[in-house]
Structures are given as C-alpha cells and as structure tokens.
A and B are shown apart, each in its own frame.
Chain A
Amino acid sequence: MMNLLPVVLTAIVGIVVILSFFVPHPYIAEPAQKLQDWAIVIVASGYVLGAANVYKVNGESAIKRQKDWVYKWILLGSMTGMMVVGFFFSGGTQFLNEGSPFKWGYDFLYVPMQATMFSLLAFFIASAAFRAFRIRTVDAALLAVAALVVMIGRVPLGNLFTAAFPEPIQLPTMANWLLEWPQNAAKRGIAIGAGLGVMATGLRIILGIERSHMREEA
C-alpha cells in the first residue's frame, strides 16, 4: 500500500496535467495550475535540501579532518556567511538591490568565479583540437569540414578570406546554408526521436511502469 499510493498519486497528477493541455475548463485547468504552483515551491525546497546535504557531506569530513579539510571549512564558512548576510543583513526581499552586502558578494565573488571557471574551457578545447581531433574516417572528415566552415564562416576574419568570391561560395553563405539545411535536418531527426522517447517515458511514469524515482535514500 505504501508503495502503491505514490504511484497512484503520480498517475492522477500526470493525467490532470496532460488533460489541462486539451481541456481549458476550470475543473481541469485550476487543479493543474495548483499542481504547477506546488511544483514551483517544491523545486525551491529541493535547493534548500541540497544545501543541507552540502553541510552533511562536507561537515563530516571537515570535523574529522579528512583530506582537504581546510578547504571544506572554507566551503562551509563561505556558504554560511552568504546565508547569514542574505537572511539577516541585506534588507529581506531587497537582498539583491544595489548596495546590499549580499549584492556585493554576488558582484565580486559569485560572478567572477563562475565566469572564470567556465572560461577555462576555452583553453582545454584548444588543446583538445590539437591532440584529439583526428580525421581517421569519412565520418570524421565530414565532421571536421562542417566544424571548420562554421568556425571560420561565423567570424569576420573568415569572411574576409572569401569576400572576393561569388556569394554562393563565400564562407558565411556556406556556413549559414550548412546550419539551415543539413544540420537542421539532423537536429530535427534527433528532436522527433527524442520527442517520441520523452512521450514514451512520461507515459511509462504516469502508468506506473517506470518507478525508479520512488526509491528513497536517507
């Protein structure tokens, strides 16, 4: 019974949401809207639960002085610091307004670190282009040609190389054609395939055939 009830609940909820797409009557639309309202706050709670997990996982290794324990304290300290500042010293709902201490943390800690972390990829993609991008087969050759045409055809310097040629064989024209037709065709094939896959998986969940999400872990 304890396993069956959540499965039944998933089915009812899923069917109501699907019906709301086709039936705008308030008897269907309003319950579906309430479910979406709840989903919004549940997802927000999920983030808070995730933060509690961060404390649980890192707190243990920080206290037991396991590997990198000093860094775990930095992690826990900065997380706690942001929360204390955001909850108590930044004007409540105006916590992100210009001039609040929390906004300072966003501007000068969060923004530069996140942006720089992702910018490291520029270096690794260059190194991989040299070491790993090998044209061993016809398939790989097609991939390389498409990559080079798009890479060079979408920037001004690439445009200059073929500016003297007739328009149909200029690099930007070729890059745009490639994106709009063969590339688009493959992406559409993938989209239709994925669409059918998602519909099948969604229906399996709603009908209770797929239940892996019901596993609980403490």
Chain B
Amino acid sequence: MNISMDFGIWVAAALTLFIFSFLYKDNPLYKFAEHLFVGVSAGFVVVQQFWQVLWPNLIQPAVTRGTPEVWKFYVGGLLCVLLFTRLFQGISWLSRYTIATLIGTFAGLKVTGFAQAEVVEQVRATMVPLWTGDLGSSINNIILVVGVITTLVFFFFSKEHKGAIGATARVGIWYLMVSFGAAYGFTVMSRISLLIGRLMFLLDEWLGIVRF
C-alpha cells in the first residue's frame, strides 16, 4: 500500500466517497458534492467558452488591427449580445434574430446531413443481392433487407397496423426487440466500465494498492 500524499487526490477521493454515499441513502455529504459539482461545472464551462471560443473566434479578431473582413466579427458579436436580451422582458423579442440565425443554420445542416448519411447512404447499403452464391451471406443479406423494410413499416403510422401491414409490422417489432436487447447489453457494459474507472482511481491513485 502506497497511499497518496497529494492533497488534490485526497479531495478527489473524498468527493468520490461523498457521491457514493448516496447509495446508502440521501445525506448532506452527497448534497454538498452534488451542488458543488453543478457549481464547478457551470463555472468551468463559462471560463472555457470564453478563453477557447469567444476570445479566439470573436473578441481577439474583432479588436485586432488589420483583421480581414472585421465586420463579420461585429455581426457575430451583435448576434451574441442580442441573445442576452432574453434576460430582460421588454426587449427579449430582439433575441429572436439570433435564434432565427442559429435555427436556420442548424436546420440547413441537419437536412443535408441526414439526407446524405442517413437516407441515401443507408438505402444504398441496403440494396444488396439476396442470393450471393453463398448460403450464409445470402441469409444474412435477406435478414438485413427484411429487417430494414419491416422496421420501416412498423414506423409507418398513416395506415392502421392490420392485415398484411400488421403482420409485417409485427416482424419489425421482433427486430426492434433484438436491437433494444443488444443496446441494453451494451448499456450494462458502459455503466460497469464507469464504476471500474472510479474504483481504479481509489485503488491506484489514492490508496496505491494496485497499479493500473
């Protein structure tokens, strides 16, 4: 055992244990850590946005002599200032122009991004031969095509799920269940990994029992 002598490590270990104490029951130590976490996170994010985004991409070029097309930084700055009018009731309508710019940009990006990557490319990748000359890969291709079509039919709500459509949608549900089951298995893996990470910190960096 080679316990840490670093004050920071002790603080981190104490906060880790405070949060784990919630597993026994809600208590003041957990509440302390919870509120500290929210405060530290909010403070961290504000400082980071300023020094890593607003400073290099807006303020620095706007105040530096000789910046080409400096007007674009003034417009960007104005849009940012308008966003803050949301805090003041009488003039909050001004923030709509900033929101409109942002929403328009994101709507445009999403429309083309999803059309290309999620619709065109995915449809193209589903157009596979149903008989490849090899039984195994042919079965796999059939499973893929049937799965995509039946899942899409399940999400087609404009027609009642009865008769042929109902039967097809039923197969779609089975596919979805397999997919959700796989997702559940992976979720378990993720959550356990996070716990492993914290225990590794306590055993290694704090207590020095094992080196990872």
Contacts and interface: CB of A to CB of B under 8 A. Distances in A.
Check A-B contact in the complex, CB < 8 A: yes
Interface of A: 2, 5-7, 9-18, 20-21, 32, 34-54, 56, 68, 71-72, 74-83, 86-87, 92-93, 95-96, 102, 104-123, 125, 129, 138-140, 142-151, 154-155, 175, 178-196, 198-199, 201-203, 205-206, 213-214, 216-218
Given A71-B35, A119-B195, A122-B192, A182 B112 contact: no
A51 B12 contact: no
B195 to A, nearest CB: 4
Interface residues of B, number: 118
A36 to B, nearest CB: 6
Interface string B51-72: 1111111100000000000001
Contact of B80 (A45, A51, A92, A110): A45
Contacts of A93: 51-52, 55-56
B203 interface: no
B174 A139 contact: yes
Given A49-B86, A154-B189, A189 B175 contact: yes
Interface in B165-194: 172-182, 184-189, 191-192, 194
A17 B104 contact: yes
6 contacts: A82-B42, A120-B19, A146-B180, A183-B178, A193-B152, A195-B115
B103 A83 contact: no
B75 to A, nearest CB: 7
Interface of B: 8-9, 11-13, 15-16, 19-20, 22-23, 31-58, 72, 75-77, 79-80, 83-84, 86-89, 92-93, 95-112, 114-119, 122-123, 125-126, 140, 143-152, 154-155, 172-182, 184-189, 191-192, 194-195, 197-198, 201
Given A10-B100, A150-B185, 8 more contacts: A17-B112, A53-B87, A83-B43, A86-B43, A109-B40, A125-B191, A139-B174, A189-B172
